[in-house]
Structure 1
Amino acid sequence: MDILIEFLNNLSDPDWIVAHGGLYLLLFIIFAETGILIGFFLPGDPILFIAGMIVSNMTLASAEQTSTLLYWILFISIAAILGNFVGYWCGKLFGKRIMRMKDTWFFKKDYILKAQEFYGKRGGGAIVLARFLPIVRTFAPIVAGIVGMSFRKFVTYNILGAFIWVGSLMTLGYLLGEMPWVQRNLEVVILCIVFAATAPVLLKTFAGKRKDSTHISDANT
Structure 2
Amino acid sequence: MSIFSSLQHVQTLDELILWGGYALLFAIVFAETGLFAGFFLPGDSLLITAGLIAASGKLDISLVIATLCCGAILGDSTGYFIGTRLQRAFFKKNETLFFRKEHVEKTERFYEKHGSKAVFLARFVPVVRSFTTTLAGVAAMPYPVFLFYSVTGASTWVLCFTLIGYFLATIFPDLVDYVHYIILAGIVIILISALRHLSKKT
After superposition, the Cα gap between the structure-2 partners of 1:33 and 1:145, relative to the gap in structure 1 and judged at 3 Å, is: same
- Residue 13 in 1 paired to residue 29 in 2? no
Q: CA deviation at 1:97?
A: 2.6
- For residue 80 of structure 2, what is the aligned residue in structure 1? 88
Aligned residue runs from structure 1 range 150-165, under 5 A: 150-165=142-157
Matched to 1:73, the amino acid is I
Correspondent of 1:192 among 168, 176, 185? 185
Q: TM-score, normalised by structure 2?
A: 0.76
Structure 1: 5+ residue stretches without partners: 60-64, 211-221
Residues 1:24 and 2:62 are matched in the alignment: no
Deviation (angstroms), 1:36? 0.7
CA shift at 1:128, angstroms? 2.3
TM-score norm. by structure 1 comes to 0.70
The alpha-carbon deviation at position 26 of structure 1 amounts to: 1.0
CA deviation string 1:26-59 (max 9, x = no partner): 1111111221124531101111111112221117
**For 1:138, which of 130, 135, 138 is the aligned residue?**
130
**Kept in 1: contact 2:119–2:150 (CA 8 A):** yes
Separation in structure 2 between the aligned mates of residue 50 and residue 102 of structure 1, nearest angstrom: 35
Deviation digits for residues 62-113 of structure 1 (CA, Å, limit 9, x no counterpart): xxx9xx42332123101100001111111221123325546899544x8656
Q: Aligned partners of 2:68 and 2:95: how far apart in 1?
A: 36
- Of all paired residues, the percent bearing the same amino acid is 34
Residue 197 of structure 1 deviates from its aligned partner by 6.1
Summarize the Cα distance change of 1:161–1:199 in structure 2 as closer, same or farther, 3 Å threshold.
farther
Instruction: Give the residue type in structure 2 aligned to 1:71.
Output: L
Find the residue that maps to 2:183 and give its secondary structure.
helix
Cα distance in 1 for residues equivalent to 2:148 and 2:61:
23
Paired AA for residue 167 in structure 1? L
Whole-angstrom distance in 2 between the partners of 1:91 and 1:71: 30
Larger CA deviation: 121-130 vs 193-202:
193-202
- The gaps in structure 2 that reach 5 residues or longer are none
RMSD: 3.3
Asked if the contact 1:133–1:197 (Cα under 8 Å) also holds between the matched residues in 2, the reply is: no
Q: CA deviation at 1:21?
A: 3.1
Q: CA deviation at 1:138?
A: 1.6
Residues 1:183 and 1:114: Cα distance change in structure 2 (over 3 Å):
closer
